[in-house]
């Protein structure tokens, strides 16, 4: 990061200065050529005026040619007729160290040549050239310096963001990047980063809770096994009592095994190692079979389970995984609905054309505070009650995974004391696509 | 019946030996792949229980070599790896059955019995224990001359228990063989427990002698009350 920031800054500056240098060079050359052309054309005009004056004098008073020098200030000219020089000023022909500009006029009978000193023009052009040659690099230098400074100012938020980001670790995820102006690109970038950080923080927090919960869940049966075993060894027991002890320990082992297996299934599922084998599934049939599967549990609690699956609704999903999800949702409903309660399982099409399986109970309901976290692993609304009910705390987490891996979502509507409605929503299969199968 | 156990974990090996000897099998233990390979080549066994994670020589390698030498002894693999790939790989290498650790001991016994029984199909039409009879053709269950009304699942569970009469049946076995569900889940365990309770209400409660017993922490067993 540290290398990248100045490099962007330098690149910005160089591009900026390069473009400016090009513009200045073209501009300077333009000025120089324009001034030069103007100066020379003025000089040429003067020479042409001189020639006209000389011509006039030649035509009218040839003898007065000698007086032109001090009367008109025309000091350098020659008038010739053929090979005969009629008149020429003493300094003719111009030459030596001083530069001259020459003009001629004439016809077959005579030729007039006049010249003017162009030192002044050359000096002016020279001065201009020097000014431009010194000024342009200065301007470019200023552009580089200013550009570098400005680029630094503009990129400063990036540096600040990098500095903060470097300090953020898994332990300090609560920190956020400084957001300058929300309207500019850097402000937006920072706020986008901050949103990602918030999600990361949430994920880490969930992981932390999960680790704590998992170790608690795993330790509970281990503690039971250990203390039951240790206490039993403190004194001699009858064979029957030993059987009791070992049986009790084995029960805890069984609980551990189930826990580890459920966790493995979930972890494998969430890491994407379980690929759903998609097929077109009749959800009504699936719901009926799941209800029949668990009906004995409801019957034991004298609950009535009704199925409301009049219309045939199909969805594309993995039937085994979806079944696992629905079993967990229905089991949850049976568990938290009191004796003689009612559970309704409905299969229908939602208004937006998706397929939905609803499990509605007249149970305890879930307060709004718990609704957001009810699908988290090991999350329990009431610690003691759910453990008594014999759950692993993974049922609804498994259900959510099972539904989401099939491209669906699971919704919850619940009011405390009245009951809950879990809705598994899956994309529906369009019947036309079945093509008469 | 002689069984060879190839297992490097000493506690597990000892527990297996004790458990199998209690069932009147003759057991040898090999603690490495090399030793197992040597024993199979020099002694005669009816069954090999092979752990996959072994020091020096991998279990699968031993198995492959044995099958190349045309050793036909049935092999039951034990492993902590339980992905489908691992299973397929194990069975492809010539294993006859596959059990994932941690396993329930009654399940291991059932698998061993099944492997040793292999090739001797049983055409049983009627199962019986004491005064309880089950006719597999008419699907009638009678106890002490009285007909009992069982649901489909209760019937299947009783049939399974009668086929394993005297042997403990674990919840895993019932889940897999009666409910045909591979993944173990809490709801199913509850379903199994409830079904057992209801079955007991029908076949045991009205009678003096109890037949269906719970072995705490292990599973269920069908036998006469005497222990």
Per-residue pLDDT of chain A (437 residues; tens, 9 = 90+): 444 455 788 888 888 888 988 999 999 999 999 999 999 999 999 989 888 888 888 888 777 777 777 777 787 888 888 788 888 887 777 777 778 888 888 887 888 888 888 888 899 999 999 999 999 889 889 888 988 898 888 888 888 888 888 888 777 778 888 887 788 888 888 888 889 888 888 888 888 888 888 888 888 889 889 988 988 888 888 999 998 899 989 988 888 888 888 888 888 887 877 788 888 889 999 999 999 989 999 998 999 999 988 788 888 899 988 998 999 999 999 988 899 999 999 999 888 888 999 999 988 888 888 888 888 888 877 766 555 556 778 889 889 999 998 989 999 998 888 889 999 999 877 554 444 44
- Contact of B121 with chain A, judged by CB distance below 8 Å, is answered with no
Question: How far is it, in rounded angstroms, from Cα A296 to Cα A331?
Answer: 11
Task: Flag if A296 and B195 touch (Cβ within 8 Å).
Answer: yes
- Contact of B198 with chain A, judged by CB distance below 8 Å, is answered with yes
- Determine the CATH number of domain A279-434: 3.30.565.10
Same domain, B57 and B163: no
- Contact of B15 with chain A, judged by CB distance below 8 Å, is answered with no
Same domain, B145 and B73: no
Question: What's the ipTM?
Answer: 0.71
Question: How far is it, in rounded angstroms, from Cα A35 to Cα B118?
Answer: 112
Shortest distance between the Cα of B178 and any Cα of chain A, in A, equals 12
Shortest distance between the Cα of B140 and any Cα of chain A, in A, equals 22
- Contact of B145 with chain A, judged by CB distance below 8 Å, is answered with no
Same domain, B66 and B107: yes
Contacts of B186 in chain A (CB under 8 A): 258, 262, 331, 390-392, 395
User: Which pair of tokens denotes residue A134?
Assistant: 């010194």
DSSP helix/strand/coil, A279: strand
Task: Flag if B183 and A253 touch (Cβ within 8 Å).
Answer: no
Predicted confidence at residue A376, as pLDDT, reads 85
Task: Flag if B191 and A391 touch (Cβ within 8 Å).
Answer: no
Q: Which of B68, B91, B117 is where one domain is finished?
A: B117
Q: Is the pLDDT of residue B220 over 90?
A: yes
- Contact of A359 with chain B, judged by CB distance below 8 Å, is answered with no
Q: Which range marks the domain in which residue B104 is found?
A: 2-117
DSSP helix/strand/coil, A336: coil
Substitution target from A277, A296, A402 for chain B, most B beta carbons within 10 A: A296
Residue B11 lies in a domain: yes
Same domain, B102 and B138: no
Kindly report the CATH class assigned to A198-270.
mainly alpha
Q: Is the pLDDT of residue B176 over 50?
A: yes
Task: Flag if B102 and A297 touch (Cβ within 8 Å).
Answer: no
Same domain, B77 and B100: yes
The minimal CB distance from A296 to the residues B185, B198, B216 is found for B198
Q: Which residues partner with A348 through β-bridges?
A: A356
Same domain, B150 and B86: no
Residue B185 lies in a domain: yes
Contacts of B217 in chain A (CB under 8 A): 246-251, 253-254
Same domain, B98 and B14: yes
Residue B19 lies in a domain: yes
Query: Per the structure, how many domains does chain B have?
Result: 2
CATH number at residue B35: 3.40.50.2300
Q: Name the closest residue on chain B to residue A392, using Cα atoms.
A: B186
- Contact of B156 with chain A, judged by CB distance below 8 Å, is answered with no
Q: Which of B117, B143, B169 is where one domain is finished?
A: B117
Do A326 and A292 touch, CB atoms closer than 8 A?
A: no
Distances from the Cα of A410 to the Cαs of A247, A282, A371, B10, in angstroms?
39, 18, 12, 47
Calculate what percentage of chain B has a pLDDT beyond 90.
Answer: 32
Q: Is the pLDDT of residue B104 over 80?
A: yes
- With vertex at residue B53, the alpha carbon angle to CA B51 and CA B59, rounded to the nearest 5 degrees, is 60
Give the up-direction half-sphere exposure of residue A339: CA atoms within 13 A in the CB hemisphere.
2
Q: Name the closest residue on chain A to residue B181, using Cα atoms.
A: A320
Task: Flag if A251 and B216 touch (Cβ within 8 Å).
Answer: yes
Q: Is the pLDDT of residue B51 over 50?
A: yes
- Contact of A392 with chain B, judged by CB distance below 8 Å, is answered with yes
Confidence of residue B227 (pLDDT cuts 50, 70, 90): very low
A-B contacts (CB, under 8 Å): 63
Do A266 and A324 touch, CB atoms closer than 8 A?
A: no
Residue B227 lies in a domain: no
- With vertex at residue A5, the alpha carbon angle to CA A4 and CA A10, rounded to the nearest 5 degrees, is 95
Predicted confidence at residue A390, as pLDDT, reads 62
Same domain, B16 and B101: yes
Distances from the Cα of B200 to the Cαs of B83, B96, B191, B214, in angstroms?
36, 35, 14, 10
Question: How far is it, in rounded angstroms, from Cα A128 to Cα A389?
Answer: 98
The minimal CB distance from A247 to the residues B197, B198, B216 is found for B216
Confidence of residue B17 (pLDDT cuts 50, 70, 90): very high
The minimal CB distance from B194 to the residues A248, A296, A392 is found for A296
Predicted confidence at residue A434, as pLDDT, reads 47
Predicted confidence at residue A211, as pLDDT, reads 85
CATH number at residue B184: 1.10.10.10
How is chain A split into domains, by residue range? 4-122, 198-270, 279-434
Predicted confidence at residue A185, as pLDDT, reads 84
Same domain, B109 and B6: yes
The minimal CB distance from A293 to the residues B191, B197, B218 is found for B191
Do A396 and A373 touch, CB atoms closer than 8 A?
A: no
Shortest distance between the Cα of B57 and any Cα of chain A, in A, equals 28
Question: How far is it, in rounded angstroms, from Cα A363 to Cα A181?
Answer: 51
Q: Which residues partner with A317 through β-bridges?
A: A279
pTM for the whole structure: 0.66
CB proximity under 8 Å: B 80-119 to A: 102
Task: Flag if A327 and B184 touch (Cβ within 8 Å).
Answer: no
Residue B101 lies in a domain: yes
The minimal CB distance from A331 to the residues B171, B187, B217 is found for B187
Question: How far is it, in rounded angstroms, from Cα B59 to Cα B15?
Answer: 20
Shortest distance between the Cα of A197 and any Cα of chain B, in A, equals 35
User: Which pair of tokens denotes residue A371?
Assistant: 């609704």
Nearest to A201, CA basis, from A167, A172, A178, A165: A172
DSSP helix/strand/coil, A328: helix
Same domain, B18 and B113: yes
Contacts of A257 in chain B (CB under 8 A): 102, 184
Q: Which of B117, B137, B155 is where one domain is finished?
A: B117
CB proximity under 8 Å: B 163-192 to A: 171, 179, 183-191
Same domain, B107 and B55: yes
Q: Is the pLDDT of residue B196 over 80?
A: yes
Q: Is the pLDDT of residue B178 over 80?
A: yes
Same domain, B6 and B109: yes
Q: Quickly tell me which residue has 């039971």 as its tokens.
A: A224
Q: Quickly tell me which residue has 């240098």 as its tokens.
A: A21
Do B191 and B156 touch, CB atoms closer than 8 A?
A: no
């Amino acid at each position: 990061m540290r290398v990248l920031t100045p490099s962007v800054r330098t690149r910005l500056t160089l591009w900026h200065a390069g473009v400016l240098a090009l513009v200045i060079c073209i501009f300077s050359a333009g000025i120089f050529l324009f001034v030069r052309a103007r100066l020379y054309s003025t000089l040429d005009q003067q020479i042409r005026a001189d020639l006209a004056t000389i011509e006039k004098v030649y035509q009218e008073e040839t003898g007065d040619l000698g007086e032109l020098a001090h009367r008109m200030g025309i000091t350098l000219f020659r008038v010739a007729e053929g090979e005969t020089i009629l008149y020429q000023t003493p300094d003719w022909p111009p030459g030596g160290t001083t530069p001259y500009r020459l003009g001629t006029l004439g016809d077959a009978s005579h030729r007039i040549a006049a010249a003017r000193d162009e030192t002044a023009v050359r000096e002016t052009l020279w001065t201009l050239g020097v000014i431009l040659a010194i000024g342009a690099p200065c301007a470019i230098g200023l552009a580089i310096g200013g550009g570098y400074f400005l680029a630094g100012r503009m990129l400063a938020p990036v540096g600040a963001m990098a500095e903060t980001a470097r300090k953020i670790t898994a332990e300090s995820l609560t920190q956020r990047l400084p957001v300058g102006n929300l309207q500019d690109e850097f402000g937006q970038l920072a706020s986008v980063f901050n949103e990602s950080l918030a999600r990361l923080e949430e994920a880490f927090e969930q992981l932390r809770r999960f680790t704590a919960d998992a170790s608690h869940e795993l330790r509970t049966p281990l503690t039971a096994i250990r203390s039951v075993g240790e206490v039993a060894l403190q004194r001699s027991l009858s064979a029957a009592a030993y059987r009791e002890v070992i049986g009790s320990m084995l029960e805890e082992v069984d609980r551990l095994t189930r826990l580890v297996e459920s966790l493995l299934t979930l972890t494998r599922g969430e890491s994407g190692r379980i690929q759903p084998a998609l097929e077109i599934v009749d959800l009504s049939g699936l719901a009926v079979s799941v209800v029949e599967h668990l009906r004995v549990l409801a019957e034991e609690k004298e609950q009535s389970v009704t199925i409301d699956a009049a219309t045939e609704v199909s969805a594309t999903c993995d039937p085994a995984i979806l079944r696992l999800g629905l079993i967990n949702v229905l089991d949850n409903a049976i568990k938290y609905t009191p004796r003689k309660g009612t559970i309704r399982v409905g299969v229908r099409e939602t208004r937006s054309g998706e397929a939905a399986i609803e499990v509605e109970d007249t149970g305890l309901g879930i307060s709004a505070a718990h609704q957001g976290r009810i699908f988290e692993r090991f999350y329990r609304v009431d610690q003691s009650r759910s453990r008594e009910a014999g759950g692993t705390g993974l049922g609804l987490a498994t259900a959510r995974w099972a539904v989401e891996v099939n491209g669906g979502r699971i919704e919850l509507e619940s009011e405390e004391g009245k009951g809950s409605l879990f809705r598994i929503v899956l994309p529906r299969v369009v019947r036309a696509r079945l093509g008469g199968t | 019946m002689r069984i060879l156990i190839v297992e490097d974990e000493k506690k597990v090996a000892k527990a297996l030996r004790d458990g199998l000897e209690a069932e009147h099998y003759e057991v040898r233990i090999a603690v490495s792949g090399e030793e197992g390979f040597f024993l199979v080549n020099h002694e005669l066994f009816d069954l090999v229980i092979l752990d996959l994670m072994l020091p020096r020589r991998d279990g699968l390698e031993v198995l492959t070599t044995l099958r190349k030498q045309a050793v036909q002894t049935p092999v039951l693999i034990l492993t902590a790896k339980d992905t489908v790939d691992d299973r397929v790989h194990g069975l492809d290498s010539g294993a006859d059955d596959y059990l994932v650790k941690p396993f329930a001991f009654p399940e291991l016994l059932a698998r061993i019995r099944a492997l040793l029984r292999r090739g001797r199909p049983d055409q049983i039409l009627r199962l019986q224990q004491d005064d309880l009879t089950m006719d597999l053709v008419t699907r009638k269950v009678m106890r002490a001359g009285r007909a009992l009304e069982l649901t489909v699942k209760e019937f299947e569970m009783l049939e399974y228990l009668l086929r394993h009469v005297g042997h403990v049946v674990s919840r895993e076995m019932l889940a897999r063989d009666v409910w045909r569900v591979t993944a173990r889940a809490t709801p199913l365990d509850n379903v199994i427990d409830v079904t057992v309770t209801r079955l007991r209400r029908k076949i045991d409660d009205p009678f003096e002698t109890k037949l269906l017993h719970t072995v705490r922490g292990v599973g269920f067993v069908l036998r006469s009350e005497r222990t």
